[in-house]
Structure 1
Amino acid sequence: MVEKKEIFISVDIETSGPIPGEYDLLSIGACFIDSPNETFYCELKPVSNNADPEALSVTGFNLEKLAEDGLNPILAMKEFGIWINDHINENEIPIFVGFNASFDWSFINYYFHKYLGKNPFGFSALDVKSLYMGRFCCKWTDTKSSMISKKLSPLLKGNHNALQDALFQAELFRLVQKTLHIGS
């Protein structure tokens, strides 16, 4: 069996609350780590209409406006899946990369399974915060994006727009990877 080449995809989301199924996935942003100009972005219609006011204040989304302008979740997940598959060949495997990946992956996994029956990323994700913690032997509290930015000096910043944040965390991932190759 031929080992598949791993293709790292930075994914960020914005939601209406803390857990999938109870709250809605509102936007998805993604880019390829090694080709950050290859991007995906969409906003989704809410399905539960449950919202944590704090989550909405962070995202700036209005559920009524998304109900009018957002994509139906089935269409959004189909388009995201097509975007992934259009950039992955049969000898490659997509790897989900997130910043606090467990949160973002949980919504993406839930929505892919609920609306399409399968998740092209499989059952796992790579977390930039954990990678950074392992590389620099720091405390978990030192893995905030502001702390990582002080150490690695990325050009980009996060702003709670899913695409901008996907690009930002892709840069953080590349900067951590770069430190792993120094002196090797």
Structure 2
Amino acid sequence: MSYIMVDIESDGPIPGDYSMISFGAVLVNNELDTTFYGKLKPISNNWISEALAVSGHTREETMSFPEAKNVMLDFKDWIQANSKGRPIFISDNNGFDWMFICWYFHHFIGENPFGHSSRRLADLFCGLQKDTFAKWKHLRKTAHTHNPVEDAMGNAEVLLLMKNEMDLKISLK
């Protein structure tokens, strides 16, 4: 199994009515040297200015991004080329990130290479601490900038720290 840390940026709260603007992925291994970055042309005429502003892109800029189907096909190919065994989706906020990635995969290419489930980094950390309110974001080395590759990288660093220093039983292939 290969863990792939994912982070997305969007211009609204839900896929379909709004658009995923960009996403980043990091193959979780000791090197953290295998990444994917996708920028996607909006699929809806709806957007929320404040949500889009988080991504650092303007609406005009996003209109020149590649078509979503092509980006999702490229991401599927990247996952297949870089994961050993079943790829496992993990993110900081999988309720949000998974919702977009899963919807886009099914909507544009008819399948999701991650299958039907995902993992949440914070839940793993809280379980290790035996505290459902345990704070973990201070453990990131890479700053959280809303660049989705950088954000995924910071989260992957925390997962490695949990494995290497906190005795999380996890196999990273």
TM-score > 0.5, shorter chain as reference: yes
Please give the secondary structure, in 2, of the residue aligned with 1:11. strand
1:25 aligns with 2:23: no
Task: List structure 1 runs of 4+ shifted beyond 3 angstroms.
Answer: none
Greater shift, 46-55 or 11-20, is seen at 46-55
Please say if residues 49 and 63 of structure 1, whose CA atoms lie closer than 8 Å, have aligned partners that are also in contact. Answer: no
Residue ranges of structure 2 left out of the alignment (5+ in a row): 169-173
Residue ranges of structure 1 left out of the alignment (5+ in a row): 1-5
**Larger Rg over CA atoms:** 1
2:53 aligned partner, one-letter code: S
Normalised by the size of structure 2, how large is the TM-score? 0.90
Q: Aligned-pair distance for 1:136?
A: 1.0
Q: Which has the higher helix share?
A: 1
Paired residues, number = 167
1:123 aligns with 2:116: yes
Q: Aligned-pair distance for 1:66?
A: 1.2
CA deviation string 1:58-91 (max 9, x = no partner): 21221211112x11001000000011111135xx
Q: Which of the residues 57, 64, 82 maps onto 2:60?
A: 64
Normalised by the size of structure 1, how large is the TM-score? 0.85
Q: Which of the residues 166, 178, 181 maps onto 2:152?
A: 166
CA deviation string 1:131-183 (max 9, x = no partner): 1111112244x44xxxx143x3x32111101111111110111112234428x
- Paired residue for 1:3? none
CA deviation string 1:92-140 (max 9, x = no partner): 1100010011210110000000000000001111110111111112244
1:102 aligns with 2:95: yes
